[in-house]
């Protein structure tokens, strides 16, 4: 059942891609939202959009924020926005929630803002569902980051719900990965050691006014100090609700940026883009395969295998030849 007002909503006026990109670059929030919607909807215009954005990307710093539910991710993100805004930065936020039943912008409204920053024209907040990619960040995330980047964001915060693989993937997407924890996680920290603690460039123990903050810091330190890396990941205590310690987080983010500038940033970004190109190439091959399998060829190959006239490897070779 489609509500009447939705069914009758007039289709949006068609806007040419170059115009949309130009408007987004000049800071028009509606155009930014529209471009991200094109990404989310896997619009046929997507290739044109990405080609138009290409010359204008690479300026934003991408900071991943991950942590288990309950550590105060949204409050911390909001406090970080406030702190970054106080230094004049244009901030983008991409909230990626693998468990969200919403398919992104369409249902949540074109722009979902965190209430504190709802009226700030220098803050773009966007919620995206990570559909289409089992348990992790969707392939659309890097494209959405490109839109925010081209729109002139100085810093983009990518917030993920820390479940399963997504926190590992966030480390692949971000220049700097901020891992958020809270005191009193007890044995949980043991379990996390293998995964979440490995990926942090910067650790934040939020809710530091609670008992056990120093214990948590010590536990993190014991893991982090075992790393072989030039970068010693700092551990900052915060109380995001009051803003305490958040300035220090921004300072450490900045310090990590300076560290990365010594060549590591280039390496991380090259690796990241390489993986993205591979994933897109594989996706394109997959869809060519779907075209082939839509026709009778796969059925006839399968029938040959079933009848013992062929085997699956030989049939797969034939399929690949026909792509």
> By the criterion CB under 8 A, which residues form the site for a copy of itself?
46-47, 50-51, 53-58, 142-143, 266, 269-271, 273-274, 276-278, 280-286, 289, 293, 298-299, 301-303, 305-317, 319-320, 323
Strands (E), the chain: 61-67, 91-97, 123-129, 155-161, 176-181, 202-205, 235-237
DSSP 199-233: H-SEEEE--TTSTTHHHHHHHHHHHHTT---SS--
CB of 45 to a copy of itself, least distance (A): 12
Nearer to a copy of itself, 62 or 202 (CB): 62
105: buried, middle or exposed (CB in 10 Å: 19+, 13-18, 0-12)?
buried
Nearer to a copy of itself, 26 or 284 (CB): 284
Taking a C-beta distance cutoff of 8 angstroms, is the pair 66, 178 a contact? yes
CB of 295 to a copy of itself, least distance (A): 12
Nearer to a copy of itself, 30 or 309 (CB): 309
Taking a C-beta distance cutoff of 8 angstroms, is the pair 96, 130 a contact? yes
Rounded to whole angstroms, how far apart are CA atoms 24 and 89?
A: 17
Nearer to a copy of itself, 139 or 231 (CB): 139
List the beta bridge partners of residue 239: 244
CB of 266 to a copy of itself, least distance (A): 8
CB of 141 to a copy of itself, least distance (A): 12
Of 105, 118, 124, nearest in space to 29 by CA: 124
Nearer to a copy of itself, 15 or 298 (CB): 298
Taking a C-beta distance cutoff of 8 angstroms, is the pair 20, 31 a contact? yes
Nearer to a copy of itself, 6 or 306 (CB): 306
């Amino acid at each position: 059942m489609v509500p009447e007002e939705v069914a009758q909503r007039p289709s949006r006026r068609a806007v040419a891609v170059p115009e949309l990109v130009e408007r987004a670059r000049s800071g028009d929030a509606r155009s930014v939202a529209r471009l991200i919607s094109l990404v989310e909807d896997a619009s046929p215009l997507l290739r044109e959009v990405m080609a138009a954005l290409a010359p204008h990307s690479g300026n934003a710093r991408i900071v991943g924020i991950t942590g288990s539910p309950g550590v105060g991710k949204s409050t911390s993100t909001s406090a970080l926005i406030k702190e970054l805004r106080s230094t004049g930065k244009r901030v983008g936020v991409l909230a990626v929630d693998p468990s969200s039943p919403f398919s992104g912008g369409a249902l949540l409204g074109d722009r979902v803002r965190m209430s504190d920053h709802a009226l700030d024209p220098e803050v773009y907040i966007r919620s995206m569902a990570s559909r289409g990619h089992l348990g992790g960040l969707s392939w659309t995330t890097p494209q959405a980051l490109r839109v925010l980047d081209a729109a002139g964001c100085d810093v983009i915060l990518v917030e993920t719900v820390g479940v399963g693989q997504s926190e590992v993937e966030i480390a692949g997407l971000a220049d700097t990965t901020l891992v958020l924890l809270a005191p009193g996680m007890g044995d949980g920290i043991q379990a996390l050691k293998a995964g979440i603690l490995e990926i942090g460039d910067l650790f934040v123990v939020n809710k530091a006014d609670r008992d056990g903050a120093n214990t948590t810091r010590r536990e993190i330190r014991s893991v982090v100090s075992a790393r072989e890396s030039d970068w010693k990941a700092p551990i900052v205590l915060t109380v995001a609700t009051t803003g305490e310690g958040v300035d220090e987080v921004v300072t450490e983010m900045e310090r990590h940026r300076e560290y990365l500038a010594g060549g590591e940033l280039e390496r991380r970004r090259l690796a990241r883009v390489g993986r993205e190109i591979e994933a897109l190439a594989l996706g394109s091959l997959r869809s060519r395969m779907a075209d082939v399998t839509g026709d009778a060829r796969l059925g006839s190959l399968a029938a040959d295998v079933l009848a013992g006239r062929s085997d699956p490897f030989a049939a797969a070779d034939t399929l690949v030849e026909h792509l």
